[in-house]
Amino acid sequence: MGSLHTDVLENNSVCALNPLDPEEFRRQGHMIIDFLADYYRDIEKYPVRSQVEPGYLRKRLPDTAPYNPEPIETIMQDVQKEIIPGLTHWQSPNYYAYFPSSGSVAGFLGEMLSTGFNVVGFNWMSSPAATELESIVMDWLGKMLKLPTSFLFSGNGGGVLQGTTCEAILCTLTAARDRMLNRIGRENIGKLVVYGSDQTHCALQKAAQIAGIFPNNFRPVATSKATSFGLAPESLQSAIQADIEAGLIPLFLCATVGTTSSTAVDPIAPLCAVAKEYGVWVHIDAAYAGSASICPEFRHFIDGVEDADSFSFNAHKWFFTTLDCCCLWVKDPSALVKALSTSPEYLRNKATESKQVIDYKDWQIALSRRFRAMKLWMVLRSYGVANLRNFLRTHVKMAKHFEEKVTMDKRFEIVVPRNFAMVCFRLLPPPVKDHEDETLRQSSELERANEINRKLLESINSTGRIYMTHAVVGGVYMIRFAVGASLTEDRHVNLAWKVVQEHAEAILKAC
Amino acid sequence: MGSLHTDVLENNSVCALNPLDPEEFRRQGHMIIDFLADYYRDIEKYPVRSQVEPGYLRKRLPDTAPYNPEPIETIMQDVQKEIIPGLTHWQSPNYYAYFPSSGSVAGFLGEMLSTGFNVVGFNWMSSPAATELESIVMDWLGKMLKLPTSFLFSGNGGGVLQGTTCEAILCTLTAARDRMLNRIGRENIGKLVVYGSDQTHCALQKAAQIAGIFPNNFRPVATSKATSFGLAPESLQSAIQADIEAGLIPLFLCATVGTTSSTAVDPIAPLCAVAKEYGVWVHIDAAYAGSASICPEFRHFIDGVEDADSFSFNAHKWFFTTLDCCCLWVKDPSALVKALSTSPEYLRNKATESKQVIDYKDWQIALSRRFRAMKLWMVLRSYGVANLRNFLRTHVKMAKHFEEKVTMDKRFEIVVPRNFAMVCFRLLPPPVKDHEDETLRQSSELERANEINRKLLESINSTGRIYMTHAVVGGVYMIRFAVGASLTEDRHVNLAWKVVQEHAEAILKAC
């Protein structure tokens, strides 16, 4: 039993129920819904950050797949006993790490429906509703963000759902690369330069690597505290100028609205002005903060987007749509299609030939694609613009509340200004007694501060009560408190601050 | 109501229920389970291929997202009324198009759990169970396929779940490219050549385009009926030799087990022998047919895999795991990691630094990743090796049954030998009366045969009773009958053949 090598009596020993039997689907489906509803109800009892050690699961699971079927009840016991301890609970209200993934009932239901229909929507023909709903919701969302018409289908641009920002950047970079190389010749690939800042998400570097941009031609332009770690247009201009003088060709700029380290915002309008001068494709990566622009009071952060070539944000980050769902708009879809299309005979069909339809396979890396529009549509309709704004504002308000608490406690400082729902703070180390050389003192003080905050964060996270992560900007180690988990309420934020204070006290005492 | 511009009373007019409220989750979740169970129960009443015209949905949906929330009941009415008519029903038992996507209860439940947990598993630290379960099931599956140990973690290789084959090929090609360029210098990128056959899936060409391989250096080697459209090792050898003589550098071969057009199988062992001689990375794309190798009687199709560098198959195609789930094994994970890794400060953690864990973000294009292992684990356990083999064998048996019916009807012919669960057939045109020049007669006969089969297929598909698609190999237009939808039973295959015969009769009568 259970061995891979027991082939005897194979055809007799197993039950032949159809794998998609509707009544079995119903029975087991209801069971999992209750399991997950209970999980959300009880989620606070689990340590937020998993407490397991590397290799924990291999010790607990068998070496081979079972030979005979196992009942769902047994499997679900193992989910509870073996899997849940190894999960970090991203849906916990006490989760403030990285950027939270804001799950929702509507997002979950949409994913259920698209998984249930299980269509493979590579082109229009393969399941028209998948393509058409995607174009429609991308226009809806574009209007909510007040994107210029040139990014909407009505303005000859258009939107597409990608898995992640990495894919969105790789696709637009490839489009920009081929548009340029088709003009100047393939042999010049080694001259193309890609720009970001030292705060840009590593997705850009990865995309550049994959697209064959020479590693030396990836240009992370330095930022500083003076510009709140936003990319200064003059710095971009100098970098581009230097590259041109060196015989290189500026290709692509990725500007960020809401960087991962500190939610810094690159000034889009002036950066686009510089880029335009040199014919550089500008992509705006608003992975985290883009959604906030549906609120009038945050829209200004993407002012200037009308001069960019492409814009993306992750609905799976802070827009209640489960992983994965990156919304990408481009002004010139034909640039994507030219770089990414393939037309094998087995996919030929009248609809494609009529040129009246979109075949999204030509807008992305993969050919196969899930029906992601379903979950975004469910989120937009279930909550409406009004509730979505309210949800985001509630998170910002909670972050602000936390920020106020930090500000009022003189043992702490806010490291960079808060723009959205993330607070970057640190504990200040107590002054040292013996005065040394001033520069040395400052540098060793920075080291001491960094060390103390590293300790503080680890001591907090290892309790499992709340979970935060860190970043380093301008040499300063800071703790990131990112509000955004859907279940978080005021009382959780108050608890979080209490936990931070308790651990800080203990650490300061030990200094 | 419903307008984007009604900002008045915003905070008062909307209900403030938490978007992840557990009891609302329970209520709505049960509703959708019943909706989908009913959908599967009644699926035969829908036309398999959607009958809508391009643009149907834009006419039926509003231009903007609703301002106020809408109840789930309203949304589900629209799913039924507006979305379902635009779906092609991939889960229908009468679906035989492309390659079917074999959904299952277990696959669906796994997707529910991973969506419910909604962890973003970029590295081990972010949710250890996601990474560890993935390594474990990839080893399980590798053993089921009898892959050599060198592809398993125990043999210093390893497996990873990608979204699609396109991604698997792009990742391995990028790894091969960088391994080569790091040795011979970046400036030689224009000399690298990528090989496949004229039957290789267009994923290879697309990956080569994205990775910056020069378009002229993509080499689809010609195949012919003589080798059943498999890639002949001598043809590969000649192509490589010619490229070397032209000063180019052979880099990568994608060999296919089960091509999309006709399920042809490239002879892996002799192809690897040729490739090895020239230091070419060999990837085996067994997207469709790989799963069959868990049955001893089909394992021989991947014989020789021990000499390849990487191997992939799509569990979302013919392995009961919902879209998307491509299983990729590599012998040298470090080649992937060198080409695809990034290590930003905000992801630094002790587990990574201990080098005791896998960070799968470095094995794929994107950084974020879904907990795909959950659904594969559920499928392996819920069905066991025994039932999985039985399911696949049942599909093969049904295809064989259909093939026999085609063979017995002298008006039809089988175009290429059947290897798995797909039958490639065509209707033979009735002989023409007036005899012309022999060559001209043959070519016009081929044209006539192609035209008649094109008509036959369109006439069948437009009824919505069954859905099949076509391919052209060696100039011959053929109809592909791909068994694999989970709900298909003998009676459906019998019906399908009856439909084909009826339409053929009508068409022959009209000739």
Q: What is the CATH number of domain A120-370?
A: 3.40.640.10
Q: What is the 3-state secondary structure (H, E, C) of A192-208?
A: EEEEEECCCCCHHHHHH
Residues of chain A above pLDDT 90, percent: 92
Q: CA-nearest residue of chain B to A314?
A: B368
Amino acid at A250: P
Contacts of B23 in chain A (CB under 8 A): 37, 41
* DSSP strand pairing (A281-285 vs A310-314): parallel
Q: Write out the DSSP string of A240-278.
A: HHHHHHTT-EEEEEEEEBS-TTT--B--HHHHHHHHHHT
Task: Tokens for B152, please give them.
Answer: 């398993």
Residues of chain B above pLDDT 70, percent: 95
**Each residue's pLDDT tens digit, A337-383:** 999 998 888 889 999 999 999 999 999 999 999 999 999 999 999 99
Task: Tokens for A419, please give them.
Answer: 């723009």
Distance, in Å, from the CA atom of B460 to the CA atom of A138, rounded to the nearest integer, reads 34
**Each residue's pLDDT tens digit, B309-344:** 999 999 999 999 999 999 999 999 999 999 999 888
- Average pLDDT value for chain A: 95
Q: Would you say domain A382-510 falls under CATH 3.40.50.1010?
A: no
Q: Residue A446: in which H helix or E strand, if any?
A: helix A438-461
Whether cis (ω within 30° of 0) applies to the bond prior to B42 is no
Q: How many CA atoms lie within 13 A of B160 on its CB side?
A: 32
**Each residue's pLDDT tens digit, A267-324:** 999 999 999 999 999 999 999 999 999 999 999 999 999 999 999 999 999 999 999 9
Model confidence at A452, pLDDT cuts 50, 70, 90, reads: very high
pLDDT > 90? residue A453: yes
Q: Write out the DSSP string of B372-412.
A: THHHHHHHHHHHHHHHHHHHHHHHHHHHHHHHHHHHHSTTE
Q: Write the residue in B52, B103, B105 that is nearest to A118 by C-beta.
A: B103
Cα end-to-end span (Å), chain B: 59
Q: What is the 3-state secondary structure (H, E, C) of B193-256?
A: EEEEECCCCCHHHHHHHHCCCCHHHEEEECCCHHHCCCCCHHHHHHHHHHHHHCCCEEEEEEEE
Which whole-number Å values give the CA distances from B375 to A18, A86, B134, B154, in the listed order? 17, 16, 10, 23
Q: What is the CATH number of domain B388-510?
A: 3.90.1150.10
pLDDT > 50? residue A438: yes
Beta-bridge partners for A105: none
Pairwise CB contact (< 8 Å): B29 & A109? yes
Residue B66 near chain A (CB below 8 Å): yes
Q: What is the pLDDT of residue B117?
A: 98
Which part of chain A has CATH 3.40.640.10?
120-370
Task: Name the nearest CA neighbour of B196 among B259, B245, B119.
Answer: B259
Pairwise CB contact (< 8 Å): B57 & A133? yes
Task: Name the nearest CA neighbour of B104 among A4, A66, A118, A71.
Answer: A118
Which part of chain A has CATH 1.20.1340.10?
10-86
Pairwise CB contact (< 8 Å): B66 & A132? no
CA dihedral (B87, B200, B385, A23) in degrees, to 10, reads: 10
Task: Name the nearest CA neighbour of A157 among A304, A308, A288.
Answer: A308
Q: What is the pLDDT of residue A191?
A: 98
Model confidence at A430, pLDDT cuts 50, 70, 90, reads: confident
The Cα of A158 is separated from the nearest Cα of chain B by a number of Å equal to 14
Q: Write out the DSSP string of B78-107.
A: HIIIIIGGG---TTSTTB-SSS-----HHH
Considering the segment(s) B10-86 as one domain, its CATH architecture is Up-down Bundle (1.20)
Which whole-number Å values give the CA distances from B116 to A110, A379, B257, B354, in the listed order? 12, 15, 35, 30
pLDDT > 90? residue B428: yes
Which residues 25-64 on chain A approach chain B with CB closer than 8 angstroms? 25-26, 28-30, 32-41, 50, 52, 54-58, 61, 63-64
Q: Write the residue in A36, A356, A380 that is nearest to B25 by C-beta.
A: A36
Q: What is the pLDDT of residue B434?
A: 61
**Each residue's pLDDT tens digit, A151-204:** 999 999 999 999 999 999 999 999 999 999 999 999 999 999 999 999 999 999
**Each residue's pLDDT tens digit, A240-278:** 999 999 999 999 999 999 999 999 999 999 999 999 999
Q: CA-nearest residue of chain B to A454?
A: B349
Helix A203-210, helix A165-184: angle, nearest 10 = 40
3-state DSSP helix/strand/coil % of chain A, to nearest 5? 55, 10, 35
**Each residue's pLDDT tens digit, B70-106:** 999 999 999 999 999 999 999 999 999 999 999 999 9
Amino acid at B393: R
Task: Name the nearest CA neighbour of B13 among A297, A106, A387.
Answer: A387
Other CB atoms within 10 A of residue B433 CB: 5
**Each residue's pLDDT tens digit, B438-454:** 666 677 889 999 999 99
The Cα of B426 is separated from the nearest Cα of chain A by a number of Å equal to 15
Q: Which residues in A335-359 are b (16+ Cβ under 10 Å) and which e?
A: bbeebbebebebbebebbeeeebbb
Contacts of B72 in chain A (CB under 8 A): 106, 109, 382
Residue B87 near chain A (CB below 8 Å): yes
Distance, in Å, from the CA atom of B40 to the CA atom of B355, rounded to the nearest integer, reads 46
How large is the C-alpha radius of gyration of chain B? 25
Task: Tokens for B461, please give them.
Answer: 């598909």
Contact B127, B119 (CB under 8 A): yes
Contacts of B33 in chain A (CB under 8 A): 25-26, 29-30, 33, 112
Contacts of B20 in chain A (CB under 8 A): 40, 91, 103-105, 486-487
**Each residue's pLDDT tens digit, B44-54:** 999 999 999 99
Which residues 309-368 on chain B approach chain A with CB closer than 8 angstroms? 316, 320, 322-324, 339-340, 342-346, 351, 354, 356-357, 365-368
**DSSP 8-state code for residue B464:** T
- Tell the residue number behind the tokens 């934020």, with chain if given: A493
Contact A101, A63 (CB under 8 A): no
**Each residue's pLDDT tens digit, A53-92:** 999 999 999 999 999 999 999 999 999 999 999 999 999 9
Pairwise CB contact (< 8 Å): B58 & A118? no
